Amino acid sequence: MKPYQIGAVTWSLQIPDLGENLKVIKNELGLRLVQVGFMGANDLADPDKIISSVKGSGLKVSATCVGFGELGEDYTTIETIARSGGYMPDETWKQRYAKTVAVANINQELGVEFLATHVGFVPHDHSHPQYAVMVDRLKRICDALGERGLTLLMETGQEQANALSAFIVAVGLPNIRVNFDPANMVLYGVGEPVEAVDILKDKIVHVHMKDGKWADKPGIDWGQDVVLGTGDANIPGVVDKLREIGYAGPLVIEREAGNERFADIQKAISLLESLGAIR
């Protein structure tokens, strides 16, 4: 990957067939970089086909991403995802661990170092019993990935930047870092994106380009996912701050709302190019 290379995530386009999805990203959007997501029940039904499709696409993979919608992850409200997200729920922890390892095996076959996910809402109180549980679970995830030469990327949004940084320190392993999503800071109502970049600094190794508007009740109600550059995430300021801290990774477009995803991604590409990013 080149510094500030523009990519796109596969799940934005809502094209179920991975091979077709990758063709659109390369041939119609004109990109050379992709993040491949595994969010649903059937995404891992044929790992060999996945590997063949990605290898044959001509695209570079910046990272993969694993989600657990089929295992009860519920993004209806901030409250529901706080209960159901990531590695927090005890009743599905084993299945979510197993799915993560299955994606890690695909990473290994593809030679892709980074695997991203929302790990779940970590309690703010470090003395809360579930805090130690989450530290232990993330150590187990990172150990499994470490055996395969991989790094886990925690996605921003569910914790304030200081809390996220402290949690990474508590896990205490070298292969846990941050996928920075500026919009999620706004959508979840947890902090200003530019300030968060300054706090997380060298923990950031992968960046989503997504924008959002603050909710009337931040942290209680969802903010609004909007076209890149039209929201409150201050995308030009985020890119400037990333340069200031020495970040030299990709800028991967994610659009999770609206009915004009392809056109919205095109607008995002144009904005990022105007900010000095490259295809």
Quick check: is 265 in a domain? yes
pLDDT at residue 1, rounded to an integer: 84
Question: Domain with 158 in it: what CATH number?
Answer: 3.20.20.150
Q: What pLDDT digit, counting tens, does each position of 32-56 carry? A: 999 999 998 788 989 999 999 999 9
Quick check: is 162 in a domain? yes
Quick check: is 172 in a domain? yes
Q: How far apart are CA 179 and CA 116, in angstroms?
A: 7
Quick check: is 58 in a domain? yes
Quick check: is 61 in a domain? yes
Q: What pLDDT digit, counting tens, does each position of 67-103 carry? A: 999 999 999 999 999 999 999 999 999 999 999 999 9
pTM value surpassing 0.85: yes
Quick check: is 1 in a domain? no
Segment 194-208 shows an average pLDDT of 98
Q: What pLDDT digit, counting tens, does each position of 203-248 carry? A: 999 999 999 999 999 999 999 999 999 999 999 999 999 999 999 9
Task: Show the domain range for 95.
Answer: 6-274
Quick check: is 252 in a domain? yes
Q: How far apart are CA 37 and CA 252, in angstroms?
A: 13
Please state the domain count of the chain: 1
CA–CA–CA angle 250, 60, 49 (5° rounding): 135
Q: Is residue 117 over pLDDT 90? A: yes
Quick check: is 279 in a domain? no
Q: Is 59 left (phi over 0), alpha (psi -120 to 50) or beta?
A: beta
